[in-house]
Structure 1
Amino acid sequence: MPHYAADAVLFDLDGTLLDTIADLADGVNGMLAELGRPVRPLEEIHSFVGKGIANLVRRSLTENAHASEAEIDAALPVFRRHYARVNGRNTTIYPGVRETLDTLRAQGRRLAVVTNKSTAFTDPLLAHMGLSGFFEAVVSGDTLPTRKPDPEMVVHACALLDVEPARALMIGDSINDSLAARAAGVPVLLVRYGYSEGGVPVDAIDCDGLLSNALETLDHLQPR
């Protein structure tokens, strides 16, 4: 098992730190119902998560169905309104996450969130779940013009923390996290319990290791 001398650890949010799928599904189905479209099962919505809200709305409207670009554009604020109402209501922190963050901070490692979720939802959610205080930087889906799998979000997070990418470690749950980290020159570990956008099996994704529990992150780090 490789051990990384990481000065910083970067975390994806949905499916890595927090199980948000129930609230995302409520937001999607609230939108679909208001638009007069059939609601979708949670398992299907689960596979749409990972590339930001615009992609989630698009796939919710067009998967085995049809929607024009104008309809998709009009649906975005409808989803935002429904999701803002439920954001955090049924979200839970994955086992081991809080203990992992406590330990990493006690070790003096710098922490950041790198998520494709919009700032308007990321910041209130972290605050609601009591996690805001752990992170020195939060890079959300609208912080930059690009989103994961583009590496710029990861590079930007490292710059905010004043840490070279090679001295950081990325923890995520999908191919978007792996591609972004790889292109940024950051080692990447993926959790087995997350969403893995598109339903791609996590053990089929190029990464440096798999985690069954967030606490296993600590096993991949050199002592400090």
Structure 2
Amino acid sequence: MFKKLIIFDMDGTLVNSSVTIANAINYVRKQLGFEPLDTEYILERVNDHTINPAQVFYHTQKFERDHEKWFTEYYTKNHDKELVLYEGINELLVSLREQGHKLAVATNAYRSSTIESLTHLGIYVLFDAIACYDDVHKGKPYPDMLFKLLEELETEKEEALFIGDGPRDEMAAKRAGIDYLMVDWGFTNHEKKVIGSVEELKTILLKDHKDQISSL
């Protein structure tokens, strides 16, 4: 079925931000007086829906305003040196817009760092809307930001598709009643079958468009 709205997770799906995320978390830890964590340790837990990330990374029950300030501070100073798009993402987004899809981002990153990242990478203008951690009451795996995007873009859940790289994304999609595709070039190791490359994802999405055209 042709999907009117395609929603993307950001980190690990659109953007290879593994180095920046790990460094930003360790920057916050430094401000709090904690020793740095190993990068691999951080990335193994970023998408783990079974943990409280504020507790694991910052030894507190919830994220505080200072955590956001310091995290964003690191992002602002370093995104131009550390962030890169996964190969083929820009071409995929342009193709989808040309085919008439609406595009959106649903990310557990803060809005300010999300806009900075997507703008630096030259793709912010390709999205019709973004929903971030600080835009909603609860981030993924809760469905709040997906509901927000559906309402903002006046789209029914049956007309939307969510693409992400981890269980938090999958759970949010299921709770929102939105179809979901899991990709495998991000931070999460998957045991089940997933989409292994941007080219494979592009083939799937282009096929959906061609099938819709041929049925008219």
With the length of structure 2 as denominator, give the TM-score of the two structures.
0.84
- The alignment status of 1:124 with 2:121, answered yes or no, reads no
Write out aligned runs for 1:46-195 (5 A).
46-50=43-47, 56-61=53-58, 67=59, 73=64, 76=67, 77-195=69-187
Offset at residue 89 of structure 1 (A) = 2.8
Determine which of 181, 197, 203 is the counterpart of 1:219.
203
* 1:39 match: 36
Offset at residue 129 of structure 1 (A) = 0.8
CA offsets per residue over residues 116-168 of structure 1, 9 Å max, x none? 11112111111111111110010111111121111221122122222211111
CA offsets per residue over residues 29-81 of structure 1, 9 Å max, x none? 223334432212211111232489xx5443223xxxxx4559x7486244443
Residue aligned with 1:189, SS: strand
Is the 8 Å Cα contact of residues 54 and 60 (structure 2) preserved in structure 1?
no
Distance 1:161 1:69, change over 3 A: closer
- The alignment status of 1:10 with 2:7, answered yes or no, reads yes
Question: What CA RMSD, in Å, does the superposition of the two structures yield over aligned residues?
Answer: 2.4
Residue aligned with 1:48, SS: helix
- The alignment status of 1:24 with 2:21, answered yes or no, reads yes
> What residue ranges of structure 1 are gaps of 5+ in the alignment?
62-66
Runs of 4+ in 1 over 4 A off after TM superposition: 72-75
Percent identity of equivalent pairs: 28
With the length of structure 1 as denominator, give the TM-score of the two structures.
0.81
